[in-house]
């Protein structure tokens, strides 16, 4: 098991975190804080000496700005493949280039466990036919999992893609975490649900989450 970096989420996942050699999809609307799960995952990996790779369609400064809002410390420095400011420049139009840049970066792992966080999936789905993206993700993740002790966490925007595309995409991943805004009376609250996770029975319960004191807090929601 690989720690998620969020104690309460680790507990929810049976004590250890994400399954070894797995692919995790975090689905949720824009602005809800999907990046937080990615950041704490990377942060925890760096603390444990894992090789951490952050593949983003944004500039590094934009990701850091988002991360700052979760009041997490910004000292964690993964290897960045980013549109601007990273060690390697990302061209979102070049699927083959993205794949080869990720593989190239992974040659430097020196036998360490690998954690990859990426937010490029929504952009890829907007720029390419869904079938092309399915094939790209399947081949890339299979190859990475075959050659490395790696966990890949991918975020995708809810509401930007047809529901059948998202449903099909969820089938490609070992675990799916859903974040959503829920209206209750005159209040709106952010909720988290474990849609599926390899090796763990389905959990239909929702959890209310919040960010406080550099931590993500989860609370069972009836």
Residues that bind another protein (CB under 8 A): 30-33, 35-36, 57-58, 62, 65-66, 68-70, 83, 92-93, 122-124, 126-127, 160, 181, 186-190, 211
Tokens coding 175: 């675990």
The C-alpha atoms of residue 63 and residue 3 are separated, in whole angstroms, by 22
Find out whether 149 and 113 touch, Cβ atoms under 8 Å: yes
Which structure tokens are listed for 121?
């999936």
Q: How far is the CB of 112 from another protein (least distance, A)?
A: 30
The residue among 188 and 222 lying less far from another protein, judged by its C-beta, is 188
Q: Which residue spans within the chain are E strands per DSSP? A: 23-28, 51-55, 79-82, 88-89, 114-118, 150-157, 175-184, 187-197, 206-212, 215-221
Nearer to another protein, 66 or 143 (CB): 66
- Residue placing its CB nearer to another protein in the complex, 17 or 33: 33
By C-beta, is 1 or 189 nearer to another protein? 189
Nearest approach, Cβ of 34 to another protein (angstroms)? Answer: 9
**Least distance from C-beta 13 to another protein, angstroms?**
21
Q: Contact, 2 vs 150, CB < 8 A?
A: no
Of residues 68 and 162, the one with the C-beta less far from another protein: 68
- In degrees, rounded to 5, the angle at the alpha carbon of residue 46 between the alpha carbons of residues 58 and 193 is 65
CB of residue 179 to another protein, shortest distance in Å: 9
The minimum distance between CB 31 and another protein, in angstroms, equals 3
């Amino acid at each position: 098991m690989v720690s998620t970096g969020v104690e309460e989420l680790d507990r929810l996942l049976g004590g250890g975190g994400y399954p070894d050699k797995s692919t995790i999809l975090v689905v949720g609307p824009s602005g809800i804080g999907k990046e937080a799960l990615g950041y704490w995952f990377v942060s925890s990996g760096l603390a444990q000496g894992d090789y951490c790779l952050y593949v983003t369609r944004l500039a590094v400064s934009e990701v850091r700005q988002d991360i700052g809002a979760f009041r997490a410390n910004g000292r964690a420095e993964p290897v960045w493949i980013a549109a601007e400011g990273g060690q390697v420049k990302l061209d979102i139009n070049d699927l083959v280039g993205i794949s080869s840049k990720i593989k190239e970066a992974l040659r430097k792992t020196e036998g360490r466990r690998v954690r990859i966080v990426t937010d490029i999936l929504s952009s890829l789905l907007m720029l390419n036919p869904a079938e092309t993206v399915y094939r790209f993700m399947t081949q890339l993740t299979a190859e990475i999992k075959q050659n490395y002790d790696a966990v890949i966490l991918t975020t995708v925007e809810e509401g930007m893609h047809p529901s059948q595309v998202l449903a099909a995409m969820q089938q490609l991943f070992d675990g799916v975490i859903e974040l959503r805004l829920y209206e209750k009376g005159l209040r709106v609250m952010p909720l988290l649900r474990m849609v599926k996770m390899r090796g763990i029975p389905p959990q239909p319960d929702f959890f209310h989450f919040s960010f406080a004191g550099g931590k993500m807090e989860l609370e069972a929601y009836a």
